[in-house]
Amino acid sequence: MIQVRITARAGASVPAYQTSGAAGADVFALPEAPITIAPGAVALIPTGVTMEIPDGYEAQIRPRSGLALKHGITCLNTPGTIDSDYRGEVKVILANLGQEPFTVMPGMRIAQMVFARVLRADFVEVDGLGSTERNDGGFGHSGI
């Protein structure tokens, strides 16, 4: 378990796990007023929360499955990464892929946050790469 330090401005809810087995903590909206997202549109939703994530970890922002299924609401750039050195307000980019406008209300659960360890690469430039059975076979190389 890691310790994540959180500050929350007035009215903000600290992310919360809804069940003992939940991998993701729900993230709550804190817009100044309700935000309606038209079909096909995107909106940046504030949460009122800032965090101090330990070095070697990231927070990933992901969609909530119920919003996705019932309303077509998802997060863009999923999973969105919050780096350990970021200290600004957590904001969530929501997209409405549904057919109806969707209104985000203050206090609404809009996304989930999952923490993960981060490995940093040591990039080494070389003249060539080892071969594999796949080599440069890209999208669809193994069939549909």
Amino acid letter, 94: L
Reported pTM: 0.90
Give the SS3 label for residue 22: coil
Share of the chain above pLDDT 70, in %: 100
Arithmetic mean of pLDDT over the chain: 96
Q: Is the separation of the CB atoms in 94 and 45 below 8 Å?
A: yes
Strands 25-28 and 102-104: unpaired
For 17-40, what is the mean pLDDT? 98
* Residue 73 to residue 110: CA distance in whole angstroms: 9
Q: Which domains are present in the chain?
A: 22-117 (2.70.40.10)
Exposure of 33 in the CB half-sphere (CA atoms within 13 A): 1
pLDDT digits (tens, 9 = 90+) for 64-120: 999 999 999 999 999 999 999 999 999 999 999 999 999 999 999 999 999 999 999
Give the length of the chain: 144
Residue 143 has pLDDT above 80, yes or no: no
pLDDT at 142 over 90: no
Check whether 141 has a pLDDT greater than 80: no
